[in-house]
Chain A
Amino acid sequence: MKDLKSQASKSTTPGKGGLTPEIQSRIGHQLRAMYDDVVRQGVPDRFAELIKKLDAPGGAPQVETDGGSNDNNNGRD
């Protein structure tokens, strides 16, 4: 087996401030890993409820477009 090849391709030592493609992709990878960790947590209940509760901003009755027989009374607390 020839390990020479893998050694040769390992010439990725960066100079000061130099950005090899390998390092660029490593940064991108870590950045996304950190970010996606939070994204995967989904929508916490507090926000789902908030948006539901405030679906009629300023007290304006919400317009139901799907023709349902929902009677949308405004008697909220």
Chain B
Amino acid sequence: MPLTESLRNDILAAVPSLRAFAISLSGNADRADDLVQETLLRALANIDSFQPGSNLPAWLFTILRNLFRSDYRKRRREVEDAEGNYAKTLKTQPSQNAHLEFEEFRGALEKLPQDQREALILVGASGFSYEDAASICGCAVGTIKSRVNRARSKLAALLYVDGAEDFGPDETVRAVIGGSGG
């Protein structure tokens, strides 16, 4: 379909979540923005192949994911030093405790196999249905479900295996405890 004003607005509206997806996939903010840029260029160049009325975000996510996958194969070794870079992209600087918790979570997420990580993000964070996630990843719905389940179990094992103790009180409560001079 032609690039109408409303379609352009819809593409723009999808940019924030495309970035979030790209950062979660690549773990690197600069690279993520390059991915988003390339995704937008592809999308606009191939806008004729977009079916009006179909799911625009899913279409865009599919393009981004495919770009990432082909890119990933080329330079899978370069992705290592992601964390510091990622933290820089955050607008709100988290408190110290929240920050530690965040880093820990981020690190665990990085340890998941690629397939499981993207499935978990699409369903658990982007809010896609299992069906949409399956079409984005080009696999069966059952495959997505099992990837999401395995991803959750693995995260739980990595983060919480020693009980919920580490994650006891709220970060605010902890901040108070930590701050009230000891």
Contact = CB atoms under 8 A, between A and B. Distances in A.
Contacts of B125: 31-32, 34-36
Interface residues of B, number: 48
Interface string A8-41: 0010111011110011101110111111111111
A41 B16 contact: yes
Nearest to B24: A35
B33 interface: yes
Contact of B3 (A13, A26, A30, A57): A57
Contact of A18 (B15, B19, B156, B159): B156
Interface string B11-47: 1100111011101100000000100110011001101
Contacts of A63: 2, 4
A14 B156 contact: yes
A43 B23 contact: no
B16 A34 contact: no
Contacts of A62: 3
Interface stretch (B70-78, B129-137, B138-146, B160-168): B160-168
Contact of B20 (A38, A55, A65): A38
B5 A17 contact: no
Given A13-B164, A35-B121, A19 B152 contact: yes
A23 B21 CA distance: 23
A50 interface: yes
Nearest to A28: B124
B19 A41 contact: yes
Nearest to A40: B91
A54 B24 CA distance: 27
A72 B60 CA distance: 28
Contacts of A46: 33, 37
A59 to B, nearest CB: 12
Contacts of A17: 153, 156-157
11 contacts: A10-B164, A13-B164, A14-B161, A17-B153, A18-B156, A30-B101, A32-B125, A39-B19, A41-B16, A43-B15, A57-B47
Given A35-B24, A39-B17, A40-B16, 5 more contacts: A17-B156, A32-B125, A38-B20, A41-B16, A65-B4
Interface of B: 2-5, 8, 11-12, 15-17, 19-21, 23-24, 33, 36-37, 40-41, 44-45, 47, 89-92, 101-102, 105-106, 109, 120-121, 124-126, 152-153, 155-157, 159-161, 163-164, 167
